[in-house]
Chain A
């Protein structure tokens, strides 16, 4: 697998790449929106260079602020950015189809499938792969945030992490508080 060559330049956006990326990411990620989002970021920002990191975080923030499932919202808004309404329908379909197929067709024998020894081994291995990709994305984002040496965003970042991970506070409240902090204190261009 090491002979795969990737150019750092921007790769052309095609509906097929959009569909394929979102379908595979959705099919192999179990466990909610914030598992899926860093994988999309790894693919669309770091690998394909379709959008900038800042824009991708803005889009995720918007996705989180709207009602509905974050994963679906993120897929919709990324798709819209990449290819307007057609792009949005492509990524939406790519994200929705795996759970739709899994639950309609496979649901009858899913338990047998999921408890199968070999399937378990693959899933267990894949969980480590998912964790690695997310950690790579997360560390990169945290380092970049800290390098800017601005106190407020760093405080928001660590404060929100503690609120979410340690105290299990509902994400909606975290988002609301941070939005107010931003509105009140972070309109200056240095924070852009």
Chain B
């Protein structure tokens, strides 16, 4: 029981102080998991990185699950994950309450007015990264046109047409793009 509580507390600390998200949380996780509690070796810790690149979910959740499972099986993974999301849950609840109550107060309105275009920019930044990764297998410019993945372009164009037409839902588009990948790459004999 004690170990579950320790996992919960440890990842609650990570969740609370992980500001800015993503890889910014790695040093915090390292401090808690490798240095303070020695639940993982440095090598295993680096493996979480690699696994996070290929699996769904934020790196904090992945680390919590990985460490929790290692320390105390499935109960451990649940305790650690619950710990990681707990501070978010409380803080977001408070912020959401304030937003719906005071969202129209001048100062808060101003801040949100400044942040909305920033959110568009951050989504665009992730979008460009994903597009380059899908069609050129790298996340940053420059790319060479010769190296363009032609099957990728085809699937991308079909998906874009589907989603833009508003006739096909988001999830159906995603699933269909997976099926197209299987069919086209098989036909191309890759």
Identify the A interface with B (CB < 8 A). 1-2, 4-6, 8, 21, 24-35, 37-39, 42-43, 46-47, 54, 57-73, 76-77, 80-81, 88, 92, 95-96, 98-100, 102-104, 107, 110, 114, 118, 121-138, 141-142, 145, 153-154, 156-161, 164-165, 170-172, 174-175, 178-187, 191-192
Contacts and interface: CB of A to CB of B under 8 A. Distances in A.
Contacts of B16: 67-68
Interface in B3-45: 15-22, 24-25
A99 B25 CA distance: 17
Contact of B130 (A26, A131, A172): A131
B177 A165 contact: no
B4 to A, nearest CB: 15
A187 B126 contact: no
Given A62-B95, A95-B57, A187-B113, 7 more contacts: A28-B178, A38-B126, A67-B15, A88-B93, A99-B55, A141-B124, A172-B24
B174 A182 contact: no
Nearest to B174: A129
B35 to A, nearest CB: 20
Most chain B CB inside 10 Å of its own CB: which residue of A26, A30, A68, A184: A68
B124 A161 contact: yes
Interface class of chain B by DSSP: helix
A179 B173 contact: no
Interface of B: 15-22, 24-25, 51, 53-62, 65-66, 69, 74, 77-78, 81, 84-85, 87-89, 91-93, 95-96, 99, 103, 106-107, 109-131, 133-135, 152, 155-157, 159-160, 162-164, 166-174, 176-182, 184-186, 190
Contacts of A131: 127, 130-131, 133-135, 156, 159
Contact of B112 (A29, A58, A72, A127): A58
Given A32-B22, A66-B95, A125 B120 contact: no
Given A35-B130, A145-B120, A179-B114, A192 B125 contact: no
B121 A130 contact: no
Contacts of A88: 89, 93
B61 A69 contact: yes
The residue in B112, B169, B179 that gathers the most chain A C-beta atoms within 10 A of its C-beta is B112
Contacts of B54: 30, 110, 114
A167 to B, nearest CB: 11
Given A58-B116, A164-B125, A68 B169 contact: no
A159 B117 CA distance: 10
B95 A184 contact: no
6 contacts: A5-B167, A65-B115, A68-B87, A92-B85, A124-B134, A172-B20
